[in-house]
Structure 1
Amino acid sequence: MAVKLNKKGFEHAKTLIREGQVVRDSRDDWSEHAPSTEELSKALDKGGPAEYSKWFLGVDDEHPDGSKTHYKFPYGDLKKVHRCAVISGESRASQNDYDDIRDALGDLLKRIDKQ
């Protein structure tokens, strides 16, 4: 799998954090706060790949652009950044040796905790 940092998503997340669009939840909350498959499908259909991609820190070149499987490491609920998603993603990225994504998520977590 060729998963790389989605710089567009990283920049969008930093903007949302600067604007205070953050949910400061606990690590284990992500399973309850993550958007459903249906919500993700609606978001992709409504906003198209360009808008949808802003909510993910990873892109997988082994899957076609514009498909849901192309986007990895969600960091929010399609409205706000969730601290629990950032923590969960950082752990997953570390386990899979996606260092650039892990570092970006670590940066986001510092920004969230600094506010």
Structure 2
Amino acid sequence: MAKYLVNDVGVARARELIAARRYVLRSEWGRVQPSAEEENAFLARHSWEEYSAWHLGLTEGATDGTKARYAFVHGDFRRVHRMGLIACHYRAAEWGHKEIELAAHDLLQLLDATRA
């Protein structure tokens, strides 16, 4: 099983989006999560660094500048999605990636406090 490190750039980006109130509270994550085609279109117009900022995890051992390097997407390349954070939290908890789970949990708490 792959091992993941917390992507501080992705966590910071999610925090920035939440502070700017650029989030979606209710969505069907399975329908709005970026597809491979949408990822490719984003990468055609943006850098790998910008792509990285949409992910909470970095795959240990994967090469920078490859899709395999980035994991646990939290938004749709415009806004952070609450359901995206929940999906990251759930998937990380399911597979025992504690640091990613806690990062997603903290972001969910921040989002919920911001919207209150």
Fold equivalence (TM over 0.5): yes
Gapped regions of structure 2 (runs ≥ 5): none
Structure-to-structure mapping, 1:1-115, within 5 angstroms: 1-25=2-26, 29-114=28-113, 115=115
Q: Tell me, what secondary structure is at the counterpart of 1:4?
A: strand
SS in 1 for 2:46: helix
- AA aligned to 1:112 is L
Listed as ranges, the gaps of 5+ residues in structure 1 are none
**TM-score computed with the length of structure 1 as normaliser:** 0.93
Percent of pairs identical after alignment? 34
- 1:45 and 1:106 map into 2 onto residues whose CA distance is 31
SS of the residue aligned with 1:76?
coil
What count of residue pairs does the alignment treat as equivalent? 113
CA contact (8 A) 2:3 2:97 kept: no
Deviations 1:10-35 (A, max 9, x none): 00100100100000015xx1101111
Cα distance in 2 for residues equivalent to 1:61 and 1:47: 23
Cα separation, 2, equivalents of 1:14 and 1:39 = 23
Q: Distance in 2 between matches of 1:36 and 1:97?
A: 25
TM-score by structure 2 length? 0.92
